[in-house]
Chain A
Amino acid sequence: ETGVTQSPTHLIKTRGQQVTLRCSSQSGHNTVSWYQQALGQGPQFIFQYYREEENGRGNFPPRFSGLQFPNYSSELNVNALELDDSALYLCASSLEGLAGVETQYFGPGTRLLVL
């Protein structure tokens, strides 16, 4: 167990709807990264939040947005859902430090199905 939790575990939406996914990071971690994992693929980086600010973004459109709260929990919001947004959404927490890349610990994911 990594201590990273995500909710909900599963979600079904229809095209055009909006969705909010939630992540609670491991105790002591201040950075949250979100990844999208399509079926049969490796995870793809969406964005990262550090101390409530976006700290990097992958090749995803602006309808993918996020928030990080003072307790370092995070939300991923997706507007105007498309069929291709169907995927497993993974949250990873880590501790920002001066030593370089830190290990990211993943939650169990939220499986989103868009019909």
Chain B
Amino acid sequence: AQSVTQPDIHITVSEGASLELRCNYSYGATPYLFWYVQSPGQGLQLLLKYFSGDTLVQGIKGFEAEFKRSQSSFNLRKPSVHWSDAAEYFCAVGPTLSGNTPLVFGKGTRLSVIA
């Protein structure tokens, strides 16, 4: 069964500093990969997704993620963090089968931003 691991429960970065959130997945084939962000008390907003093609994908709010098959990773990056980026970030995997299939989420990484 597929699984997603987000090794960092909580990360604190200074405003303006760069950010990398780690995500490792377990799946027998190439999965579809997603990053979602959740502000306190809110639902999930899609940041970016990888289906195929270029392994570096660009998302909203200046985020990008790189799919590395050899490392089973899909890390999220941002070159300069803003205070408004403070939130919970979830990596998710969806198997590459036809039709809609459920997403499997990691446990999330909480990002705090300090001045």
Contacts and interface: CB of A to CB of B under 8 A. Distances in A.
Contact of A42 (B32, B41, B45, B108): B108
A100 B96 contact: yes
Interface in A41-66: 41-45, 48, 50, 55-56, 58
B43 A41 contact: no
Q: Tell which of B4, B41, B44 has the most Cβ of chain A within 10 Å.
A: B44
A42 B51 CA distance: 21
Interface string B51-90: 1000000000000000000000000000000000000001
B32 A90 contact: no
Contacts of A102: 100
Contact of B100 (A33, A44, A106, A111): A33
A42 B107 contact: yes
Interface string A23-48: 00000000101010000111111001
B100 A96 contact: yes
B45 A31 contact: no
What is the size category of the interface that chain A forms with chain B? Answer: 20 to 34
B42 A109 contact: yes
A104 B4 CA distance: 17
B28 interface: no
Contacts of B94: 101
Q: Tell which of A42, A56, A103 has the most Cβ of chain B within 10 Å.
A: A42
Nearest to B102: A45
A73 interface: no
A45 B42 contact: no
10 contacts: A33-B103, A35-B103, A42-B90, A56-B100, A56-B101, A99-B98, A104-B103, A106-B45, A108-B43, A111-B41
